[in-house]
Structure 1
Amino acid sequence: MGFHTYDPSRADNLEDPTRYQYLSVDELLALFDPQGTVADLGSGTGFYTDHVAPYAETVHAVDVQDEMHEYYREKGAPDNVEFVVAEIADLPFADDQLDGAFSTMTYHEFASDEALGELARVLRPDALLGIADWTRNGEGGEGPPTDERYALQDAMDALTDAGFTVEHASERRETFVLRARR
Structure 2
Amino acid sequence: MSIALEVILICLVAQAAVTDLALRKIPNVLVLSGLLLALLLHLLGGLHWAPLTHWMAGALAGFFLFLPLYLLRGMAAGDVKLMAMVGGFVGPLMALKVAMLAALIGGVMGLLMLIFNGRWREGWRNVAAICKPMLLRSLGVPLQAVPLAPGASVGGIPYGLAIALATMAVVALAHR
TM exceeds 0.5?
no
Normalized per residue, the structure richer in helix is 2
Return the structure number with greater relative CO, CA threshold 8 A, min gap 6. 2
TM-score (norm 1): 0.23
Greater strand proportion: 1
Which has the greater radius of gyration?
2
Q: TM-score, normalised by structure 2?
A: 0.23
